[in-house]
Amino acid sequence: MLKSYIKIAFRSILKNKLYAAINILGLTLGLVFYLFGGLLATYENSHDQFFENSARVYTIRGNINAESNIGVKQLDNVFSAVAPQIKSNLSEVDAVARTILREFLISVEENNYYEKVRFADPELLEIFDFDFLEGDSSAFAGSNGIIITETIANKYFGNKNPIGETLTLDHENDLTVMAVISDIPQNSHFNSQIVMSMPIGVLIPMVAMERITKFQPDTDWGNSSMGNLTYVMLPETLDREWLQDQMDGIYERFVPDTGRFTPKSFLTGFDVRVLSEANTAIWDVIGIPVISIVEGLGGIVLLIACVNYTNLATAQFMGRAREVGLRKTLGAGQMQLLLQFIIESLTITFFSMLLALVVLEILIPIFNSATGKIIFINYLYTLPWLVLTTVLVGVFSGAYPSYLITKTNPIEALRDVARKGRSAGLIRAVMIGIQFTFSVSILTIVLVVFAQNEKVEESSRIFPKDQIYILDRINVEQMEGRHEVLRNQILNIAYVEDFTLSSQVPYEQNNRSFQASTVLNDIASGISINQLNIDERFIEVYNIPLIAGRKITRKVAMDTHIRENGAVNVMVNELAAKQLGFASSEAAIGQFFYEDEGDKGITTYTIVGVMEDRNILGLFASVKPFVFFMRAASYRLASIKISSNAPISIVQEIEEAWQEVYWDYPMQGKFLDETFQMVYLIFDMGSKSLATFSFIALIIASFGLFGLAAFMAKQKTKEIGIRKVLGASNKQIIQLLIWQFLTPVLWATPLALGIGYFASQTYLNFFAERIGMPYGMLILAGLFGLILSCITVSVHAFRVSKINPIKVLSHE
Amino acid sequence: MINIQNLTKSYRTEEVETLALNNVSIEIKAGEFVAIMGPSGCGKSTLLNILGMLDTATLGHYSFKGEDVVGYSEAKLGVIRKQNIGFIFQNFNLIDELSVAENIELALLYHNIKSPERKNRVTAVMDKVGITHRAKHMPNQLSGGQQQRVAVARAVVGNQTMILADEPTGNLDTAHGQEVMRMLQKLNEEGTTIVMVTHSPTHAKYAKRTINLLDGQIITDDIINE
């Protein structure tokens, strides 16, 4: 019997090649995206599993106070002072270690490169069983020994044994290579490629950090940066809940609530996460569960494909009512008939799955090559999942049409009455409506996302980002004394218009801030104000108008911030002036506000100028209140404003000028646009991925519309014949078919647009600056859907309208 | 009303040419009731389709109401057809998604007749064929005889002057078949020209003239019941 069912299934497929092709293609596409989404999610969520202890390792994250208004909900790290508290108060843990990222110029003989290095506690080598090629974990016994990876070893030492060799940091600090480890595999959070790419290259003992950088990790409660993780390894008898409990206690007891940064007002608590979540932390930080969304989208695309199949199969199966009636007359039971049609559905799904796997085997290597990931299908491991998916999709898609057709009364079926009547028309209308709703909803979301991203990019153009060339890492002590020499060299280059120094440039997501208030004895209840160290050319380079007062200048002594003075003249932006309580920007001129720097005393800031608001952080952040002051030290960046008609060779000329001043430091330069693109990448990737999924979903739904239109036109041939006999012209026939097809589409349009609108609001809510109610997008999406539907049915209507009525109105 | 001269209809495939009609000439006057008979495959339905301008001849002339329609476009034939000719088929060919009244009204939709007048005409013709009590029913709720009555109503609601009926009683029992034949007879008495293809000698007797076809040619053309 099973053989018979499978034979019928094959013959049915061959008999209705168009519909079979549409069904198989639609299901294949759906399966490709569903499987790919699953594979990608599994890959991203299962990083670091090759480390022996990975199941026992956790990271400590910090939950951010929403009122701090820095635009993210969580950090993947905590203050570096937390780890010593864990170590001294939780004897049950097996190991605690921190890593802190810094960038240095590393020199080996004539080779100079900037490298990101990690300062690490020695316990890191207990937590992660790195593969030592040379040396061992005793490399961290002192404060001068470092561990490098084989890539770094090859880069600096070639074939030479690097053990015992010296690396110099910033031409100042000599460190000795004591061990070499294998490069960390790609599927590790250490190699996460999502924005904060920080592969391990050089490991330096944490005890050396204060000596090299002056930073005191054990007592710092004020600094936190993405990627500076705190790891805890537990014994097998303890779990995440236990550690979370302990960390809650440590937060309450040890995180200070006083001092300059009031850490407790910034971080509201700790969040313990398993190691496998470290790779995807960035998404948790910005509050968009990307991996879940990818999986969800894959599921939705598959669902659309299933609905597509159900729609078409329902229409097709109803045309086989006579066969069912005959089978029932010959003695078939309902269950047997159900099984027959389910097996047909499973056969189509099986072919679709095979095709999907072929497509994936072609696409995955291309994807891996483009992204550096190493996804692959482990058939042994995934076979149960593939089989289950095939069965579920086949049964789910085929269940309803199978049930419907097998309900048919045999006599009515033999008279082919079952598919007649208004109820069949209603089913068709509902099916068309569902297809259309899916397609247009997704299209609406895509259009809104693109429009919002366009707004983000457009808003960013307020700064001339393709005309500003940034020089990074000029805050090395040895370089600071020659900043003005560099300025003069650069300004001598043709097409260079201006030059400025600052601690931050637009689009960098740095939120250095402090509590400020106009009330001297109640500073804690003031506002959180962002700070930016600039020189006197900053507002000209970045085209920020001064709307009140004057700009700070080196000609006025009090305009230069010397911490010991306890007072300085500053500029603020409009928002800061408003939040500090001044009635207007003009009213703020000459007024004071204060900062409590703890044991360094109170600093008095006098406002001498107010600048127009600009969204310095840009992207999803809102405009922040800013204070701008001038402090000769700690300029990290130089911004060079270049004429719009400058030749490409200007970068070369800038590099030559740099070499004249800093011959012993390689230049790190890029256009401001690159800084923007690096952070915009997340949104760009997100919208492109969404668009890809949406495009596929639309294609599938279009297949469905096409198939349903073809089927409907075929079903209507008799009616069309009758109408032609009665005098209808071809034009009237086409109009009739289009109208009949579009009626459910028109009903579904408001629903589709409503769903699309509410779904896209979720994305829009993430941004401080958003597009307004996207009426235009909704209308465009609706119109596109209508036009697509019109074209789809017109193809069939045109063909069918030409039929000769006598060919269809024949004797029975 | 109808004058066909030396009409030939052939179907050609790669290997074979089939002559469905071979040099047929007929004249049918207005008000006649003509039955066309013959064995299966003799060309009866082909002849009817050409008379109804649903098909075109390969050779020959066809004059309808004095107008030579050979060479007319499909659109022009459609205009003549809807203004003059009503059709009744063996398998009724009602539209399943429309009610009885809507099926009948369909014939008027292509005549640019306004809605109130359409409704009036539909009501009148439903009365005439005795189907008013089923006006809102769907075709699959009617018996064969009732469906054919609806088809008759649809064929005459536009005041067509000629009815072409292709085996109108083929799917009906004796009683319903006679009922339909009486309706056709009554229509003919009121002046409608009727050309009917039938296998039934009994039903052919309702006609006043019988044409017998064999292998695409007229064998006999007899006037009956003068």
Is A811's CB within 8 Å of B167's CB?
A: yes
Beta strand A637-642 with A626-629: parallel, antiparallel or unpaired? unpaired
CB A697 within 8 A of CB A441: no
From B75, B111, B138, residue closest to A421, measured CB to CB: B138
Q: Which residue has the higher pLDDT, A799 or B28?
A: B28
What pLDDT score was predicted for residue A492? 94
Q: What are phi and psi of A109, to 5 degrees?
A: 55, -120
From B54, B82, B91, residue closest to A805, measured CB to CB: B54
Predicted-complex ipTM score: 0.72
Ranges of chain A whose pLDDT falls below 70: 1, 67-71, 193-198, 258-262, 286-288, 318, 322, 325-332, 408-425, 428, 808, 810-812
Distance from CA of A402 to the nearest CA of B (A): 23
What is the tens place of the pLDDT at every residue in B158-211? 888 999 998 998 888 888 888 889 989 999 999 999 999 998 889 999 999 999
What letter represents residue A590's amino acid?
G
Length of chain B, please? Answer: 226
A518 contact partners, CB below 8 Å, separation of at least 6: A526, A580, A581, A591, A592, A593, A594
Distance from CA of A421 to the nearest CA of B (A): 5
Is B54's CB within 8 Å of A729's CB?
A: no
| Number of neighbours of residue A17 by Cβ within 10 angstroms | 9
Listed in order, strand segments (DSSP E) in A125-250 are: 132-134, 145-149, 166-169, 173-181, 202-205, 230-233
What residue of A is the nearest CA neighbor of B160?
A726
Neighboring chain A residues of B52 at a CB cutoff of 8 Å:
725
What pLDDT score was predicted for residue A812? 36
Distance from CA of A729 to the nearest CA of B (A): 7
What pLDDT score was predicted for residue A142? 84
Beta strand A230-233 with A626-629: parallel, antiparallel or unpaired? unpaired
What letter represents residue A100's amino acid?
I
From B90, B91, B140, residue closest to A421, measured CB to CB: B140
| Number of A–B residue contacts, CB under 8 Å | 69
Beta bridge partner(s), residue A731:
none
Neighboring chain A residues of B90 at a CB cutoff of 8 Å:
811-812
Distance from CA of B21 to the nearest CA of A (A): 16
DSSP labels, B97-136:
TS-HHHHHHHHHHTTT--HHHHHHHHHHHHHHHT-GGGTT
- Within chain B, what is the greatest distance between any pair of CA atoms? 55
From A417, A718, A727, residue closest to B93, measured CB to CB: A718
Listed in order, strand segments (DSSP E) in A668-760 are: 669-671
Query: Which stretches of chain B sit within 8 Å of chain A by CB?
Result: 45, 49, 52, 54-55, 75, 78-79, 81-83, 87, 89-91, 93-97, 106-107, 109-111, 138-140, 154, 167, 170-171
Q: Is the dihedral of CA B45, B50, B55, B57 positive or negative?
A: positive
CB A613 within 8 A of CB A623: yes
Q: Tell me how far apart the alpha carbons of residues A436 and A441 are, in angstroms, rounded to a whole number.
A: 8
Quick one: B151 exposed, middle or buried, by C-beta within 10 A (0-12, 13-18, 19+)? Answer: buried
Is A726's CB within 8 Å of B90's CB?
A: no
What letter represents residue A447's amino acid?
L
Torsion of CA A426, A432, A438, A444, to 10 degrees: -110
Tokens of A41: 């999610």
From B93, B107, B111, residue closest to A809, measured CB to CB: B93
SS3 call for B62: strand
Q: Tell me how far apart the alpha carbons of residues B1 and A432 are, in angstroms, rounded to a whole number.
A: 48
Q: At what angle do helices A321-329 and A379-406 cross, to 10 degrees?
A: 80
From B81, B97, B111, residue closest to A421, measured CB to CB: B97
From B81, B140, B170, residue closest to A727, measured CB to CB: B81
DSSP labels, A498-544:
EEEEES--TT-----EEEEBSSGGGGGGSEEEEEEEB-TTHHHHTT-
What residue of A is the nearest CA neighbor of B108?
A726
Is B79's CB within 8 Å of A732's CB?
A: no
Distance from CA of B226 to the nearest CA of A (A): 32
What residue of A is the nearest CA neighbor of B171?
A812
Helix (H) or strand (E) holding A101: strand A95-108
Q: Tell me how far apart the alpha carbons of residues A646 and A448 are, in angstroms, rounded to a whole number.
A: 36
Q: Tell me how far apart the alpha carbons of residues B65 and B3 are, in angstroms, rounded to a whole number.
A: 8
Among B46, B96, B197, most A C-beta atoms within 10 A, so best to mutate, is B96
Summary count for chain A: helices (H), strands (E): 26, 22
CB A548 within 8 A of CB A542: no
Query: Which stretches of chain A sit within 8 Å of chain B by CB?
Result: 417, 420-422, 424-425, 718-719, 721-730, 732, 804-806, 809, 811-812
- Within chain A, what is the greatest distance between any pair of CA atoms? 107
Neighboring chain B residues of A721 at a CB cutoff of 8 Å:
93
What residue of B is the nearest CA neighbor of A731?
B75
What is the tens place of the pLDDT at every residue in B63-85? 999 888 888 887 788 788 888 88
Neighboring chain B residues of A732 at a CB cutoff of 8 Å:
110
CB A512 within 8 A of CB A504: yes
User: Which one, of A347, A445, A432, A437, lies nearest residue A397 by Cα?
Assistant: A347
Distance from CA of A408 to the nearest CA of B (A): 15
Angle A674-A680-A683 (CA atoms, 0-180°, nearest 5)?
155
Q: Tell me how far apart the alpha carbons of residues B210 and B204 are, in angstroms, rounded to a whole number.
A: 7
From A420, A724, A809, residue closest to B89, measured CB to CB: A809
Length of chain A, please? Answer: 812
Q: What are phi and psi of A16, to 5 degrees?
A: -115, 70
Is B140's CB within 8 Å of A809's CB?
A: no
Quick one: A765 exposed, middle or buried, by C-beta within 10 A (0-12, 13-18, 19+)? Answer: exposed
DSSP B217: E
A116 contact partners, CB below 8 Å, separation of at least 6: A101, A102, A103, A198, A199, A201
Distance from CA of A726 to the nearest CA of B (A): 6
Enter the pTM of the model: 0.70
What pLDDT score was predicted for residue A412? 55
DSSP A54: G
Distance from CA of B58 to the nearest CA of A (A): 16
What pLDDT score was predicted for residue A330? 60
Is A728's CB within 8 Å of B139's CB?
A: no
